Chain A
């Protein structure tokens, strides 16, 4: 297990480094002088030159990359252009909002997806099973930003049941939760479909297993067999699926934050692009990428710990 964990961690470090290289080449290729963009049209040539030296832009490209690379690994992502605050600090301030949104999205998808998948698996090939199948495909197919807009339109604007914008009053958990309901539904609804499908497929497999047949032979109640014995095994692939899922939910969260005007990393990057605050853009993209890689690493390690076959395949 340790061997597997070390190899898997090493791979993650390499992947993040290559991602940094790609991101750096992207910034480097942006047309125009970053110093001129940062200082605006009224700056003198001397001021621009001074900032260029301060930002290290006068050095050869490979030294610039090394500086970017070395400081990024130490958590220094540079300073943002507008308020001159450290990028890492600005991004980390916004991160909890995005994580809360994703976590609530997961709650939606697990709370609806797992029972739905079980329910369909037990009624295999019935009309109900087919209906769950079609609905799962449908919610997977429809993009989250359309779901977000329609949810806003129906529940906030037309019915006025739930608030339309913001993240709620600071220090008032009740209002914060109410403000989370619609955005997290938009983030999580597609994953209800993925999880229901996955749980259904693995439940069908585990319901055929011999220890389940034995339990049946002993006359245990169906409900106990399904939810206590079969589901326990069937839930494993869902963990890996969620590892990939969180990355996609991160994408949906960007849209949900913009549609519902919530604070968060997605809103931060979007606003930073509109104001050409490039250090903030690259910093936030880097942080979310590292987060994504870490979550996948964690999911792989959990599954590796639970299932020895995964470790040997590496």
Chain B
């Protein structure tokens, strides 16, 4: 009976046992389902312009009303979820991959390389996020690429530092020395002995960073520096709402609500995950 607690089902049950964890899972699942089944759920085409229907209030035909071009906002919000979700997944995966490699190099490589990397991380961290985003947009132009580069630059220093600290601690551990004395090369030691031991806390931190990533994408698209119109993104919808805020409140509400609900959902879920699996990380949030 107690054994069940150690497997995935048990972990899931423990997350659900926390009220906020349960709410987090519900919000996150709703967001993912909305994004994946956007075409089925929305009915309306998110791109279809219909000037006669502009600025409609919410109704059964248009659950969240329509925007300044008469496009169905509910459909645009669901399709915006696709952008948010794919940017979050892709850029988090990219940051993890780069962060792990750089962290292992810093932790296991020569001292001078370690110093250079740490300095570089500190320098990148010294740019306020929005300023970094604004500067990078001058280089890449407003695009999804710019958003992903910003997210990777913001996330990598933190991830690499964690991996580096853990690697430094493990480098002199007995089992690593044993593996080396039996003739294991650096690559094998890193892959088989070090990586599995450092990856757990990193994944929890990455899950807690997902709301931040979603906020960066929405924020850049809000400023017109991310996804280009007419592609639906929550930030772009919020910007449409901002422009038309004196005509109708519904566009701004429709753009802001999904951002609020998903950031809350991922945050509640991440906090519960951390408390359940690794309470030591508490306080770093």
Nearest CB in chain B: distance from A69 CB, A: 14
Which residues of A come within 8 Å of B, CB atoms?
A: 11, 14-16, 18-19, 21-23, 26-27, 29-30, 134, 137-138, 140-143, 145-146, 149-150, 152-153, 157-158, 201, 247-248, 250-251, 254-255, 258-259, 266, 269-270, 273, 278, 281-282, 284-285, 288-289, 292-293, 296
Identify 5 new A-B residue pairs, CB closer than 8 A, beyond the known A18-B120, A134-B20, A285-B134. Answer: A21-B123, A30-B138, A137-B268, A146-B256, A254-B131
- Chain B residues whose C-beta falls within 8 Å of the C-beta of A247 in the assembled complex: 128
Question: Is B29 part of the contact surface with A, judged by Cβ < 8 Å?
Answer: no
CB of A250 within 8 A of CB of B245, answer no
CA distance A153 to B253 in the complex (A): 9
The residue in chain B whose Cβ has the minimal distance to the Cβ of A246 is B128
CB of B131 within 8 A of CB of A289, answer yes
CB of B126 within 8 A of CB of A142, answer no
Nearest CB in chain A: distance from B88 CB, A: 14
CB of B241 within 8 A of CB of A23, answer no
CB of B128 within 8 A of CB of A255, answer no
The residue in chain B whose Cβ has the minimal distance to the Cβ of A12 is B126
Which of A29, A138, A281, A285 has a CB less than 8 Å from the CB of B127? A285
The residue in chain A whose Cβ has the minimal distance to the Cβ of B214 is A143
CB of A141 within 8 A of CB of B249, answer no
- Chain B residues whose C-beta falls within 8 Å of the C-beta of A270 in the assembled complex: 134, 223
CA distance A14 to B136 in the complex (A): 22
Nearest CB in chain B: distance from A215 CB, A: 27
- Chain B residues whose C-beta falls within 8 Å of the C-beta of A27 in the assembled complex: 138
Which of B120, B131, B139, B238 has a CB less than 8 Å from the CB of A146? B238
Question: Is B281 part of the contact surface with A, judged by Cβ < 8 Å?
Answer: no
In B67-124, which residues have CB < 8 Å from any A CB?
119-120, 122-124
The 4 A-B residue pairs with the shortest CB-CB distance, nearest first, are: A18-B123, A141-B267, A143-B215, A251-B130
- Residue picked from B122, B129, B135, B225, most chain A C-beta under 10 Å: B135
- Chain B residues whose C-beta falls within 8 Å of the C-beta of A16 in the assembled complex: 126
Which of A11, A141, A150, A281 has a CB less than 8 Å from the CB of B135? A281
CA distance A58 to B281 in the complex (A): 52
CA distance A40 to B215 in the complex (A): 36
- Chain A residues whose C-beta falls within 8 Å of the C-beta of B252 in the assembled complex: 149-150, 153
Nearest CB in chain A: distance from B141 CB, A: 9
The residue in chain B whose Cβ has the minimal distance to the Cβ of A251 is B130
The residue in chain A whose Cβ has the minimal distance to the Cβ of B225 is A273
Nearest CB in chain B: distance from A190 CB, A: 10
Question: Is B55 part of the contact surface with A, judged by Cβ < 8 Å?
Answer: no
CB of A281 within 8 A of CB of B238, answer no
Nearest CB in chain A: distance from B89 CB, A: 19
Question: Is B242 part of the contact surface with A, judged by Cβ < 8 Å?
Answer: yes
CB of B130 within 8 A of CB of A254, answer yes
- Chain B residues whose C-beta falls within 8 Å of the C-beta of A11 in the assembled complex: 122
Nearest CB in chain B: distance from A195 CB, A: 14
Question: Is B263 part of the contact surface with A, judged by Cβ < 8 Å?
Answer: yes
CA distance A29 to B139 in the complex (A): 7
The residue in chain A whose Cβ has the minimal distance to the Cβ of B23 is A134
- Chain A residues whose C-beta falls within 8 Å of the C-beta of B129 in the assembled complex: 248, 251
Nearest CB in chain A: distance from B101 CB, A: 20
- Chain A residues whose C-beta falls within 8 Å of the C-beta of B134 in the assembled complex: 254, 269-270, 273, 281, 285
CB of A266 within 8 A of CB of B130, answer yes
Which of A21, A248, A259 has a CB less than 8 Å from the CB of B128? A248
Question: Is B232 part of the contact surface with A, judged by Cβ < 8 Å?
Answer: no
The residue in chain A whose Cβ has the minimal distance to the Cβ of B120 is A18
CA distance A152 to B127 in the complex (A): 28
Q: Would you give 9 A-B contacts (Cβ < 8 Å), ordered by A?
A: A26-B136, A27-B138, A134-B20, A146-B218, A146-B238, A250-B130, A251-B130, A254-B134, A281-B134
Which of A26, A157, A201, A269 has a CB less than 8 Å from the CB of B246? A157
Contact with A along B55-67 (1 / 0, CB 8 A): 0000000000000
- Chain B residues whose C-beta falls within 8 Å of the C-beta of A281 in the assembled complex: 134-135, 138
CA distance A22 to B121 in the complex (A): 11
Q: A18-B119, A149-B256, A153-B253 are in contact. Are A141 and B138 (CB under 8 A)?
A: no
- Chain A residues whose C-beta falls within 8 Å of the C-beta of B253 in the assembled complex: 153
- Chain B residues whose C-beta falls within 8 Å of the C-beta of A140 in the assembled complex: 267
Which of B126, B263, B268 has a CB less than 8 Å from the CB of A289? B126
The residue in chain A whose Cβ has the minimal distance to the Cβ of B266 is A141
Nearest CB in chain A: distance from B150 CB, A: 11
CB of B130 within 8 A of CB of A255, answer yes
CA distance A258 to B245 in the complex (A): 14
CA distance A177 to B276 in the complex (A): 45
CA distance A61 to B253 in the complex (A): 49
Question: Is B42 part of the contact surface with A, judged by Cβ < 8 Å?
Answer: no
Question: Is B230 part of the contact surface with A, judged by Cβ < 8 Å?
Answer: no
CB of A22 within 8 A of CB of B123, answer yes
CB of B126 within 8 A of CB of A292, answer yes
CB of B128 within 8 A of CB of A289, answer yes
- Chain B residues whose C-beta falls within 8 Å of the C-beta of A248 in the assembled complex: 128-129
